[in-house]
Each structure stands twice: as structure tokens, then as C-alpha cells.
Amino acid sequence: MSGRTHAMVPAGLSALLFQGDPLLTLTAALAGLAPDIDEPWSVIGQRFWFLSWWIKYLVGHRTLSHSLMLISLVGVVGLVCELAPMMIVAILVGVGTHVVLDGLSGGVFLWWPSKVRWVLGRYPVYGRLDQVLMGLGVVCAVVGILMRIQTEVAGIRMPG
Ligand SMILES: [Zn+2]
């Protein structure tokens, strides 16, 4: 899927899950972009092209960074580094949704280094489903943020 969808779907889910917590929502969005470090033309790959070209050259696109091995590794590293559990969940929401979204748009090598491609669909990047999912992500993010604002406003006590 497109970079904007890879960012907005986990942002929306995270906003609902954590009631619009800005740090966790942003973390999920960034984590949603991270697996495409193996593609030099992706949003993150263009910024870290020096890494991106090497990763794509060595292992290819949608392999290691889109695998169950990496998702597990991210969780373990999060635990070892004693990140807050909610932060680990936000990161896993980002990486996990990325893999599922790419599974819908041609597939990923989920069981890498196995060469079996995990395919959920062959919907085109920037196609109708991509746009619908991004829109849903935006709606969920807005709802999560509004929930947050409502909670914050309710917590303010009026003087007198
Ligand atoms: Zn990807």
C-alpha cells in the first residue's frame, strides 16, 4: 500500500486503542512506515537511501523487514529495552498493519527466509482499497483525538 495508508491505518488504530494519545499515535504511524526501509523509493527509503539501497540489494523488498521474524524481534527488543508496554504495542500495531496491508497488495515474505509469498490480495497501491483504508485511518484518528479532547476538557475544573 501507499506510504500515507501505511501511516494512517496504524495511526487510526492506535488513536482508538490509546484514546488519542499523541505520542503513541505518532509512534504507530512512524512504525507503519519503517518496514519500507527496504525500498529506496518509499517515504522512509528516500530519507535513509544509504541504508535502503543496501538492504534492497542484500535481501530484496518485502522480505526481512516484512517478516514475522522482524515483528518478533521488534517485540523482544522492546521488552529487553524495557519500553513501556503501550509503546511496544503501538510499534507492533505499526509494523503489523504494514505487513497485512502489503499482504493485501501483492503479498510479503512473511516467513522469510522462506521464499513462500503470503498473499491476501492483489489490490493496487493507490487503488480504491488503498484510498478507502487511508480514509478509515483518518476517521479513526480524528475520533481518537476527539475522545482525547473530550477527556481533557472534562478533566478541567471550572473556577468558583
Ligand atoms: Zn512494505
**Distance from residue 34's CA to the centre of ligand 1 (Å):** 8
pLDDT digits (tens, 9 = 90+) for 32-88: 999 999 999 999 999 999 999 999 999 999 999 999 999 999 999 999 999 999 999
**Distance from residue 84's CA to the centre of ligand 1 (Å):** 26
C-alpha cell at 155: 478533566
**Distance from residue 47's CA to the centre of ligand 1 (Å):** 15
What's the sign of the alpha-carbon dihedral 151, 155, 159, 160?
A: positive
**Distance from residue 145's CA to the centre of ligand 1 (Å):** 27
Q: Could you tell me where the beta strands, DSSP code E, fall in 37-155? A: none
**Distance from residue 38's CA to the centre of ligand 1 (Å):** 8
**Distance from residue 103's CA to the centre of ligand 1 (Å):** 9
**Distance from residue 88's CA to the centre of ligand 1 (Å):** 20
Q: What is the pLDDT of residue 156?
A: 83
Q: What kind and span of H or E run contains 1?
A: none
**Distance from residue 35's CA to the centre of ligand 1 (Å):** 6
Q: What is the pLDDT of residue 106?
A: 96
Share of the chain above pLDDT 90, in %: 94
Q: What is the pLDDT of residue 136?
A: 98
pLDDT digits (tens, 9 = 90+) for 84-138: 999 999 999 999 999 999 999 999 999 999 999 999 999 999 999 999 999 999 9
Whether the per-residue pLDDT at 159 is higher than 70: the answer is no
Angle of helix 22-33 versus helix 3-17 axis, rounded to 10: 150
Cell 509503546 identifies what position? 87
Q: Would you place residue 141 in the very low, low, confident or very high pLDDT band (cuts 50, 70, 90)?
A: very high
Q: What is the pLDDT of residue 155?
A: 84
101 near 9, Cβ under 8 Å?
yes
**Distance from residue 144's CA to the centre of ligand 1 (Å):** 25
Map 13-65 to HEC letters.
Answer: HHHHHCCCCHHHHHHHHHHHHHHHHHCCCCHHHHHCHHHHHHHHHHHCCCCHH
